Amino acid sequence: MLSYTWHTFSPQWAAAAGIDEELRSELAKEPRTKVTYEIEPVGDTLARLTIRHEGFEPDGTLIGMCGQAWPMLASSLKTLLETGAPLPEPEPERMPGAPRT
């Protein structure tokens, strides 16, 4: 099991992620969340990965963003383990507050 508290939404993180200051400031007001990964054996040759991300503000901005990101990450990890290559990166959708390109 690996568990950690999600990072602080710093200006440096926002710049790297393409998030504008308005959205970053909104995210910074929300409580820090905790991510836990648990790997457990299933039979002799399989393993189950459980990912829990807890502590969200109900109806907050972060839960909406993570609700889109985690399924894509899990699908890509599954594909990587099965084929040796991750899923191709999807065309980035503009998140609310992200700069237009």
Distance CA 80, CA 64 (A): 25
Going residue by residue through the chain, which has 101 residues, state the pLDDT in tens, using 9 for 90 and above.
999 997 788 999 899 888 999 999 999 999 999 999 999 999 999 999 999 999 999 999 999 888 888 888 899 998 998 999 988 876 655 555 555 54
Distance CA 99, CA 88 (A): 23
Helices first, then strands: H and E counts in the chain: 3, 3
- Write down the pTM of the prediction: 0.71
